[in-house]
Amino acid sequence: MDPHCREITSVILPAIRASIALKLKNEHGFTQQEIAKKLGIAQAAVNKYLKGNCSKKVSEMRTYIAKAGLSDPIVDEIANGASPEKIADSIDRLCAEKSLRAMAGAL
């Protein structure tokens, strides 16, 4: 597997999802089931993200994403009823950010 793909699937994407899930729960009152549906993932994964049950790398990346406000536009899209395709496209664009790939490689 390409190292960049590994970083995206094992660190960056889970960190993005965790950051989004936390904001949707804490700032918009979404339920775990609603978050799971919007992100296209299992409710158990949302539960894991909300409880912080993730690797140190994912946790550090999630903190960076949240502090930098990188997931805020996606959270706003979801809160404003964006389509699943729009949400997925926005997440894909964020996953492709070179700064996130560089940070994931440094963790």
The tens digit of pLDDT for each residue in 81-97 reads: 999 999 999 999 998 88
Whole-number Å distance between alpha carbons of 55 and 95 = 18
pLDDT(1) > 50: no
Whole-number Å distance between alpha carbons of 72 and 19 = 9
Contact 49, 100 (CB under 8 A): no
Contact 60, 107 (CB under 8 A): yes
Burial class (CB in 10 A: 0-12, 13-18, 19+), 66: middle
Contact 42, 36 (CB under 8 A): yes
Question: What pLDDT shows up at residue 98?
Answer: 82
